[in-house]
Amino acid sequence: MNAIIGTLLIVESFVEADDLQDAFEQRRLGPVVHMRSVETARAMLQETGRKPQIIVVGAAADAVLVRALIEEQNALKVRLLILNDDMGDELTPGVIHLSRPYGERELSSAIDQLVG
């Protein structure tokens, strides 16, 4: 995986990943890479040293793994969009949260906040 990553999508559903990929590529935030697990994505980022512009996390995962990924990437100034988060009041400054189900308008607004 030697290519630059514009947006890293970490979602289980291929259908949702396709929709998200279209939305990010329309805003020239590619190339977009899709992974289905937080654990695999986190390992890839650590092993390769890659720094995406944006990471979207929507895969169900252990809360500790998700929190670790958020903290690591937030420290690197990577912009983060968390889908359907279960972190309650632990909202991290600079991290955008979007609850499912979301529509095109809500997704566009979240992307605007990420790049704004």
Report the amino acid identity of residue 35: M
Q: What's this model's pTM, rounded to 2 decimal places?
A: 0.90
> How confident is the model over 35-51, as pLDDT tens digits?
999 999 999 999 998 89
Q: What pLDDT is stored for residue 32 in this prediction?
A: 97
Q: Domains plus CATH for the chain? A: 7-100 (3.40.50.2300)
Report the amino acid identity of residue 73: Q
CA–CA gap between residue 21 and residue 86 (Å, rounded): 23
> How confident is the model over 56-109, as pLDDT tens digits?
999 887 888 888 999 999 999 999 999 975 555 466 777 999 998 999 999 999
